[in-house]
Amino acid sequence: MSVLKATAVACANIAFVKYWGKRDAELNLPANSSLSMNLDRLTTITTVEFSPDYDDDLVILDGREERGETRQRIVAHLDRVRAMARLRARARVISKNSFPSGAGLASSASGFAALSLAASRAAGLELSQRELSILARFGSGSACRSIPGGFSEWTAGSSSEESFAEQIAPPEHWDLRDVIALVSRAKKPVGSTEGHSLAPSSPFFQARLASLADRLTKAKAALLEKDLATLGPLIEEDAISMHAVMMTSRPPIYYWLPSSIQLIHEVQNWRAEGLEVYFTLDAGPNVHLICQAADQAEVERRLRDIEEVLEVIVSGPGPAARVIEP
């Protein structure tokens, strides 16, 4: 029997048009299509080995054996791969993030993208990028966007087969930067899964969905034209729209910290001073500052002057999820 082992690496991604709320929780179909950029410095590297010698699945994340819910979610994903490969063997999963997990930095996106690729390859499957994206989506919705490289669109779709991400431009298309201002390393108070399920309770959820098709079309066009002056305001608008839905859910979810609002104001001040930079926030308090490569150093410098910013992490457009030698 050949060695059933593979290692894969995948990037996190930052959404310019975000996914919040599900159309179908079981299939993990999103309520809306979304648009994102892979982040080359936020990666997860995952090794999966299936072996008939293992009694049970073992999951080690960042050097610590996982038990409970996190392990269960990963085991469920391994089960999907085992079902596809008609494999019974248990697995060892060893995974390592290049960044703090659970702080709204989309560790589940890079995590499930890397896991999908490593596990399917270890199980002997050669999935297409589309199949991989669908598989990753089952693990964590936004993980499907971490399968293709560069800039991706996740088409919501109305069935599982239709709901996957595709590259709309390669990493070389545009050297955008995501300069992340980390203002908290704490685990977020409400996880994304719970948050998604609360989204429809917001009186603004339907209005958000109604406004999204137009925003996505415009954002995609601006991205293809490398027009940050058009794309930037759409990115900000979408982030605020999502957080407005979160804060008006029942119960409300307040992901922002004082430093989040401080940075939202700073970005606007800096822009008024001529620095072309825009903000976005995922389901967490950290602020992503989007700018072009030429402005990165200045954005970084200004962020490092702000006491509340614990760490600055800069990413460019990252590659597709890929198999590597361990």
The span from the CA of 106 to the CA of 14, in Å, is: 8
Please identify, among the stretches 27-35, 67-75, 125-133, 232-240, the one whose residues bind a second copy according to the rule CB under 8 A: 232-240
By beta-carbon proximity to a second copy, the closer residue of 54 and 254 is 254
The 176-215 contact track toward a second copy, x by CB under 8 A, reads ---------------------------xx-xxx-xx----
Contact 179, 295 (CB under 8 A): no
CA distances from 121 to 10, 127, 178, 188 (A): 14, 8, 30, 32
Closest separation between CB of residue 214 and a second copy, Å?
10
Closest separation between CB of residue 258 and a second copy, Å?
3
Counting beta carbons within 10 angstroms of the beta carbon of residue 271, is it exposed (0 to 12), middle (13 to 18) or buried (19 or more)? middle
The span from the CA of 234 to the CA of 242, in Å, is: 12
By beta-carbon proximity to a second copy, the closer residue of 212 and 228 is 212
Q: Is 57 near a second copy (CB under 8 A)?
A: no
> Using CB under 8 A, which of 185, 187, 265, 304 touches a second copy?
265
- Residue 303 sits at φ, ψ, to 5 deg, of -65, -35
> Using CB under 8 A, which of 24, 166, 237, 311 touches a second copy?
237
By beta-carbon proximity to a second copy, the closer residue of 252 and 326 is 252
Closest separation between CB of residue 203 and a second copy, Å?
4
Bridge partners (DSSP) of residue 92 are 49, 58
Q: Are strands 64-65 and 4-17 parallel, antiparallel or unpaired?
A: unpaired
Q: Are strands 4-17 and 322-324 parallel, antiparallel or unpaired?
A: antiparallel
| Site residues (vs a second copy, CB under 8 A) | 203-204, 206-208, 210-211, 236-237, 240-241, 244, 247-248, 250, 252, 254, 256-262, 264-265, 268
